[in-house]
Amino acid sequence: MSTVGLQLRELREKAGFSLRKAAVAIDIDVAILSKMERGERKFSKELVLKLAELYKTNSDRLVIDYLSEKVLYELEDEEFGLEALKVAEKQLKYKKQNEQ
Amino acid sequence: MSTVGLQLRELREKAGFSLRKAAVAIDIDVAILSKMERGERKFSKELVLKLAELYKTNSDRLVIDYLSEKVLYELEDEEFGLEALKVAEKQLKYKKQNEQ
DNA sequence: TTACCTTTGACAATATTAGTCAACACATAA
DNA sequence: TTATGTGTTGACTAATATTGTCAAAGGTAA
């Protein structure tokens, strides 16, 4: 399982950016980016998108993983986490249908 | 779709509690309970459990719906919400397996 | 040394959430 | 009428969590 942070770290390195350069480019403190890549702090969706753009990568997969991590964080150690996800899925599907 | 708040309101009425009585019983301000039942404020899991106990109801379904609502709240209007849920589900299943 | 790199922790600023309280409107009974 | 009980509302404070800032440390390489 590769976290969004580690994915973005790989992408950064492949794109040839140092932490500092990347941080400056998206206008945040280097300490924050360092912590985010290592999972010590949570990303915001906005930053994920900015970084994806900086690294010239499609952001869809990253956003999906970002959201998934967010959700799993909410459900950590919950006995009924899986059941909750299934209910949520059902309701989201229902909502999508009656929307379009 | 019945929210946790409305479910708990029904349960309260069936159990014969006024808002005030129920609020006192679980030691919160009546204003908060009123808002929670109507979805104006989020529940905490702790309060859901306390109310379920007060109303002598099994809490499993309520907790599942509570968590589901929490998750859906995180995903509101996200283009890839459904995909994120699926990824989260997969990872949770995987985790559960390698746990026991 | 100098110049980068990343990590770390302490701290401040900000935003979010939770809790408190008084007042309101409505209904009903005395 | 007055009193009592119902639920709702909004303003306010308090507590907590999240974010941002900064300086310093340790590593590596020229």
Q: Using one digit for the tens of pLDDT, what is the confidence trace for B36-49?
A: 999 999 999 999 99
- Say if residue B94's pLDDT is above 60: yes
Mean pLDDT value of segment A69-73: 95
- Say if residue B100's pLDDT is above 80: no
In angstroms, how far is D16 C1' from B44 CA? 14
- Contact between A67 and B81 (Cβ < 8 Å): yes
Nucleotide nearest to B35 (CA to C1'): D8
- Contact between A82 and B62 (Cβ < 8 Å): no
Q: Answer whether any strand D atom is within 7 A of the Cβ of B42.
A: no
Q: Rounded to a whole number, what is the distance in Å from the CA of A40 to chain B's nearest CA?
A: 20
Confidence category of residue A98, pLDDT binned at 50, 70, 90 = confident
Q: Using one digit for the tens of pLDDT, what is the confidence trace for A6-36?
A: 999 999 999 999 999 999 999 999 999 999 9
Q: Using one digit for the tens of pLDDT, what is the confidence trace for B31-79?
A: 999 999 999 999 999 999 999 999 999 999 999 999 999 999 999 889 9
Confidence category of residue A76, pLDDT binned at 50, 70, 90 = confident
Q: Using one digit for the tens of pLDDT, what is the confidence trace for A32-61?
A: 999 999 999 999 999 999 999 999 999 999
Transcribe A45-100 into DSSP letters. HHHHHHHHHHTT---HHHHHHHHHHHHHHHTTT-TTHHHHHHHHHHHHHHHHHTT-
Q: What is the pTM of this model?
A: 0.92
pLDDT at B96: 84
CB pairs under 8 A between A and B: 92
Q: Which nucleotides of D are covered by protein (CB under 7 A)?
A: 5-11, 18-23
Instruction: Report in angstroms the alpha-carbon separations of A54 from A10, A20, A92.
Output: 13, 13, 32
Distance of alpha carbon B14 from alpha carbon B11, whole angstroms: 5
Indicate which of A86, A89, A93 best probes the interface with B, i.e. most B CBs within 10 Å of its own CB: A89
Distance of alpha carbon B23 from alpha carbon B31, whole angstroms: 9
What is the longest distance spanned by two Cα atoms in chain B?
A: 46
pLDDT at B97: 87
Q: Answer whether any strand C atom is within 7 A of the Cβ of B42.
A: yes
Distance of alpha carbon B83 from alpha carbon A62, whole angstroms: 11
- What's at B2, amino acid-wise? S
